[in-house]
Amino acid sequence: MLGLPSHERRRRYAEVTAALARHGMGALALRLGLERLNPARLFAGTARPSHTTAAHVRRVLEELGTTAIKLGQILSARPDLLPPDYVAELEKLRDRVPPVDADAIIEIVERELGGPLDRVFATFDRGPLAAASIGQVHAATLLDGTSVAVKVRKPGVSEAVALDLAILADLAKRAVRTELFPQGYDLESLVDEFAWTLRAELDYVREGRNADRLREILAEDERIVVPAIHWQHTTAAVLVMDRMDGIPISRVDSLRAVGIDLSALATANAEMLMKEVFQAGFFHADPHPGNFLVLPDGRTAVLDFGMVGQLDEELRHTFLQLFVAIVQQDAGAIVDQMEHLGILRSPTARDGVRRDVHHVLERYYGLATDEFALTEYIDDIFNVVQRHGLQLPADLALLLKTVGMSEGLWRQLDPAFNAADVAEPFVREAAAQMYAPRAWGKRMLTAAGDTVELGAYLPGQIRRIASRIDRGEFEVTLRHRDLDETLNRLSGMVTRLSMAIVAAALILGLPLIASVWEPPGWDYIAPVWFFGGIIAALALIVRLAFAGRRKDHGG
């Protein structure tokens, strides 16, 4: 049973199953236990040989709509989890959806703002500036003449996302139970992270707060503009901000034609990201070229704050030490920091990871910073992480992906652009602050507080453990990593041995019994009994043969 009795959930499950089947993934649906929902079409796939498996995965996500597209976009930022060909395909996912009728949008705006449209806006364009799967943007003018952009969440999106997230959580549990993914991946936690990210994108109040925080971080940089949020007209489903009119940053020819200094523009965009990461630990994590507009005065306006990344103080500290270790070409220190970040979950993986990291460092040893692309370096690190089945913290993976995407944009503006040169002063300043006496004093004070708290808590904890030992309630459980697999194999061997003994007993025992025992009517019973026993023995032998073949093939 799916555990989801409602008609809507069953219908959605059937749509998921049908989409998988259409693209030749009926076996996946079968392993997830979805065969009851659409058994007739489970293997009636129309997968085209000209398309790769990765391309079919992208098409499935596109067919399934908002939640699936967002899932693919987020997974495209996780090269530590997916092979490069899948990442490349998922990066093609865009919210190419038709706009919702203007009357439905206006109805939402009036309901959210508590009155007719003309009480807030002097003008409101019915044609959208942009349309995506979650919302669409309309140009408008406030009563005081301010030009604004109104972002409106589409009707029914919240309900559809809630349904899909419930189904996705269920599918994750099924995948874990059936061991569909390697054990090193915490699939259910990944789904929880995705659900949190998507719910945050649905909440325009949260997006407005992200914009305010980035504006505060970048307040001293006159080259960057973050549009102001009009909070008196903003709700969870409607976001009103200053309208920005400019040229998308990726239109290099148009920028050059109006006299924009492209090298200076690339530097300003790079320094913006460095400030966010190294000074604030809070960064804009959707560096799609459409989210940056170059204004007529040369400033860059930043748009779309639904996806942001955040590095807490400890993660920033560790990331900085990792960065220093990379600069110093110290493979051992790099692995130490990876272990501290929780990337290395198994001590046995340490030597292999250290060896591969050393090979990556050798590739770039002695090169000047302008002789290699930071994107290539990050890709090599991701390859090591994926080859060993490791999993990066979500925000760190998002940061690396953001840096990689951003460097591509910077080099598009200026082919000679060097990200390492821009990053160097920010890294030096952050390192100086990390090792400054004030920072050490703060860490020592925190450590002292933790020690005092532990000292007050530890005696009671020890006393409780001692009491449980005295009462015989204390148990120690040991689990060998490979013991379960060994026991399963041993169980299979015992089963096959038992079946072989029964088959042998039937084959040898039937003639012996027939030679010494002749009950009434034996002439009629003997052939049925004898041939029935032989057939049963042969069936056991055939089953043993198939079990042996599965064993030989790793089944």
Alpha-carbon distance of 397 to 333, in angstroms, equals 19
Amino acid at 484: D
In terms of residues, how long is the chain? 555
Taking CB atoms within 8 Å and a gap of at least 24, the contacts of 505-509 are 506/533, 506/534, 506/536, 506/537, 506/540, 507/534, 507/537
- Identify whether 286 is a catalytic site residue: yes
Alpha-carbon distance of 243 to 301, in angstroms, equals 10
Q: Tell whether the torsion through CA atoms of 59, 65, 71 and 73 is positive or negative.
A: positive
Which tokens hold the place of 456?
Answer: 């007050």
Yes or no: say if 155 and 106 are a contact pair by the CB < 8 Å rule.
no
Measure Cα distances from 455 to 444, 448, 464 in Å.
Answer: 16, 10, 15
- Where b means 16+ CB within 10 Å and e means fewer, 439-450 reads eeeeeeeeeeee
Yes or no: say if 448 and 455 are a contact pair by the CB < 8 Å rule.
no
Of the candidates 80, 286, 356, 395, the residue annotated as catalytic is: 286
User: Residues 6 or more apart from 83 whose CB is under 8 A from it?
Assistant: 54, 386
Q: Give the closest residue to 120 by CA, choosing from 234, 264, 26, 9.
A: 234
Yes or no: say if 136 and 105 are a contact pair by the CB < 8 Å rule.
yes
Alpha-carbon distance of 251 to 267, in angstroms, equals 17
Q: What element of type H or E holds 240?
A: strand 238-242
Residues labelled as active-site residues: 286
